[in-house]
């Protein structure tokens, strides 16, 4: 399942540089996660790095992008 950023994001820029897939970009009014690139860090890390650094806990599961661990791994391999 891809992640998404919701309000109360403060656009602090903490999440963007830690994403191994470059799935996070600046948006208006807050950052956006591209679900086609988000693997929840599967293939790179044990847990989503953006969630670890987010000071507002505003990174949640995207209900429109349900994926298995295997699908996330395949997506990661296709991106890299």
d(CA 78, CA 62): 20
Cβ partners under 8 Å of residue 79, min gap 6: 21, 37, 39
Q: How many domains does the chain have?
A: 1
Tens digits of per-residue pLDDT, 32-73?
999 999 999 999 999 999 999 999 999 999 999 999 999 999
52: domain CATH number is 3.30.70.20
Name the token pair of 56.
């507002």
The range of the structural domain enclosing residue 61 comes to 3-79
Q: Is the pLDDT of residue 1 over 90?
A: no
User: Where does residue 57 rank: exposed (0-12), middle (13-18), buried (19+ CB within 10 A)?
Assistant: exposed
């Amino acid at each position: 399942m891809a992640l998404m950023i919701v309000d109360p994001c403060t656009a602090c820029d903490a999440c963007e540089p830690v994403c191994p897939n470059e799935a996070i970009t600046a948006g208006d009014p807050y950052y956006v996660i591209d679900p086609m690139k988000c693997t929840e860090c599967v293939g790179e890390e044990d847990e989503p790095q953006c969630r670890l650094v987010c000071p507002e806990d505003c990174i949640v599961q995207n209900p429109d992008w349900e994926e298995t661990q295997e699908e996330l791994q395949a997506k990661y391999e296709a991106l890299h």
